[in-house]
Amino acid sequence: MGNIKLDYSKTLDFIRKEDVLGFESEAKKHIEALYNQTGKGNDFLGWINLPSSISFEEINDINDTAKSFKDCDVVVVVGIGGSYLGSKAVIDALSDNFTMLKDRKNPLIVFAGQNISEDYMTELRNMLSTRNWGIVAISKSGTTTEPALAFRLLKTDIEKKYGKEAAAKKIVAITDASRGALRTLATQEGYKTFIIPDDVGGRFSVLTPVGLLPIAIAGFDIAKLVKGAVDMQGQTKAEVPFEENPAAVYAAVRNALLRTGKGVEIMANYNPKLHYFAEWWKQLYGESEGKEGKGIFPASVDFTSDLHSMGQYIQEGVRNLFETVVSVAQPDTQVVIEADDANLDGLNFLAGKRMDYVNKNAELGTILAHVDGGVPNIRIELPELNEYYLGQLIYFYEIACGISGYILDVNPFDQPGVEAYKKNMFALLEKPGFEEETKAIKAKL
């Protein structure tokens, strides 16, 4: 099996190689701090050994539980942020683009509790009313408003449909070992449960049951995903020479670029299946680095679609951008372009060539244009889009995030800023206990 590859040669018009190599001892120190739990946020480092510490029994338990949903047409995964984006990213990356319209061997995974839209909820409930369905409710804290609200509504529906006792067998809860409303409810109702370890934060939880159970229900091989992550853990340890450690190099390059004023990183893909991978990455990096007035702003685009919208800005807008292309070397399928007698579209010069040949040249042409336009480029290549390489990519981004956060000298494992909107929302909703905040916020309106 191969490895994901990192190429930062197209940043070297903007930073010097010595700038990158200058991070060598710092990166090593930060990896050691992550493993020895001596850095900031050291009570949330359980993710670092997660792939290698998952047992066969745990994988089997998750796979067996996934099988218990086999008779469902649809499984609703209730969760937000880290309790949703990891599984969404992997499932979308591995699924047929039109899976919704196709015959499937496994349940269709849909999500709830990742927004508070009334229309979304109504349309979801209408769709579920004619289907056989189940629920995986995920909340580490067990108290997050969005998923709690969605679960309250869906629990009522599923109990009405199947009766309370049968419904309880169609619900799995993934939450804290002992705390939170979801844990209390699961104990009370007798749901099958999985634990989110105390020392694993939401955005680092994709390799726990939080990500693995929905991915297994969708029919994908979680053992291969974990294997990819384990192998990447081996490639990113402190003893690996700096230039051979892709995570250390990536963390170094992005921080070297930041120091030249490149404060926005755009993740670009040329395969729409990777759209939600970028959403997962944005949460990982946005919540981990964006604090104390610091951090690189993570943004994303889907190419070539967005070359016809955001391409203009990237080429000629404010020059504070750099781009990281995530590229898949080998597509799963082949489409060969046919010759056309009339050739009215003038595309016969491509006859006999594969569509991916056009896509790869669009990618190369864009990288060169953006570099010429002042946008440095990092390129990450996956040999194929499968469980194994996604596992590598996930772990690569997680460990690089820890290293990069420590280079920035922030705590990459907390998210104090997320509380501000919640406080205002509760004050406006007049939640008991928020009387003072309600008075204060109403005075502002």
Residue 412 interacting with ligand PA5 (CB under 6 A): no
Residue 144 interacting with ligand PA5 (CB under 6 A): yes
Q: Mark the segment that binds ligand PA5 (CB under 6 A) among 134-142, 239-247, 266-274, 324-332.
A: 134-142
Angle in degrees, CA 122, 127, 129, rounded to 5: 95
Count of CB atoms situated within 10 Å of the CB of 139: 29
Catalytic, 370? Answer: no
At residue 412, the 3 state secondary structure works out as coil
Instruction: State which H helix or E strand residue 85 sits in.
Output: helix 85-94
The tokens for 445 are 């309106």
Instruction: Please select the residue that binds ligand PA5; options are 41, 147, 214, 246, rule is CB under 6 A.
Output: 147
Catalytic, 308? Answer: yes
Question: What span, in angstroms and rounded, lies between the C-alpha atoms of 388 and 206?
Answer: 14
Residue 139 interacting with ligand PA5 (CB under 6 A): yes
Residue 145 interacting with ligand PA5 (CB under 6 A): no
Instruction: Please select the residue that binds ligand PA5; options are 92, 231, 279, 287, rule is CB under 6 A.
Output: 287
For 194-250, give the DSSP string.
EEPPTTS-GGG-TTSHHHHHHHHHTT--HHHHHHHHHHHHHHTSTTS-GGG-HHHHH
- For ligand PA5, give the closer residue by CB, 107 or 142: 142
Catalytic, 287? Answer: yes
User: Interface residues for ligand PA5 in 47-106 (CB under 6 A)?
Assistant: 80-83
- For ligand PA5, give the closer residue by CB, 83 or 366: 83
Peptide bond into 304 cis (omega under 30): yes
Select the residue whose beta carbon is closest to ligand PA5 and give its number. Answer: 202
Q: Looking at this protein, which amino acid is placed at residue 363?
A: E
| From 308, 419, 436, 444, active-site residue | 308
Residue 201 interacting with ligand PA5 (CB under 6 A): yes
145 class by beta-carbon count within 10 Å (0-12 exposed, 13-18 middle, 19+ buried): middle
Which distant-in-sequence residues (6+ apart) come within 8 Å of 385 by Cβ? 93, 94, 271, 273, 274, 328, 331, 332
- For ligand PA5, give the closer residue by CB, 86 or 374: 86
Rounded least distance, CB 271 to ligand PA5, Å:
26
Rounded least distance, CB 426 to ligand PA5, Å:
15
Q: Would you mind telling me the total number of residues written for the chain in this entry?
A: 445
Kindly list the catalytic residues: 287, 308, 422
Positions that interact with ligand PA5 (CB under 6 A):
80-83, 139-141, 144, 147, 201-203, 287, 415
